[in-house]
Amino acid sequence: MKQCWLDIRSAGDSAAALCQEALHHGFDAIVAADPADLAPLPPTVTRVLLPSGADLPADFGVADLVVVDPAVHGTPQRLAERHPERRFGAYVEVTDSESLELACASVRRDEYTVLRFRDPTNIPLEIVLAAAADASGLIITAMDRVADAPVHLGVLEHGPGGLMLAPAAPGRRPASGTS
């Protein structure tokens, strides 16, 4: 079964309502940049902290999973050594051959990898999924358009393990590029 994650990092005043709607619809995870935004969420949903900027917060709060940019924060393995009570994953924005290589390495090694692709084709996603063929980690792809979900989920006949969506407001599809 594919997972569905809600990204509230840029939701502003709509974050609480989006979280309630996501919980009602059975989303698997809610992603926030600030640990305080995860505090009111029940343990029935995976609370994912995806911090912005170069500094990690001193306290991860109730986050079940901390997703970091390995190029900025270090690898999830190194962070797990320093914080053995936490699970860590990687966030990679695939924009060029170097970041594609980083994404391929992450899906082979990390328990969780969240990917955002800037290439409008599915070729980079196909390459990453092929690299992860024998890996056991979960791959989540960030999506700008709900209409792209069936395509992403069907890449190489199985697609990633889930999708991360960032709706503009409750009851709406993601803001950028909606159809």
- Cα angle 34-149-91, degrees, rounded to a multiple of 5: 35
Cβ–Cβ < 8 Å for 112, 67: yes
Judged against a pLDDT cut of 90, whether residue 163 lies above it is answered with yes
pLDDT of residue 4 exceeding 90, the answer is yes
Q: Looking at residue 137, what is its pLDDT?
A: 94
Q: What angle do CA 103, 67, 39 make, to 5 degrees?
A: 160
pLDDT tens-digit readout, 38-51: 999 999 999 999 99
The one-character DSSP state at 41 is S
Q: Using CA atoms, how far apart are residues 3 and 39, in angstroms rounded to an integer?
A: 21
- pLDDT reading at 172 higher than 60: no
State yes or no: pLDDT of 92 exceeds 60.
Answer: yes
| Predicted local distance difference test score (pLDDT) of residue 179 | 39
Confidence of residue 154 (pLDDT cuts 50, 70, 90): confident
Structure tokens that stand for 86 in this block: 């936490």
Compare 19 and 179 and report the one with higher pLDDT: 19
**23, amino acid identity:** L
Give CA–CA dist 38/64, Å, rounded.
Answer: 10
H-helix or E-strand spanning residue 7: strand 3-7
**H or E, element range at 101:** helix 97-109
Percent of the chain with pLDDT over 70: 93
> Which pTM does this prediction carry?
0.90
pLDDT at residue number 177? 46
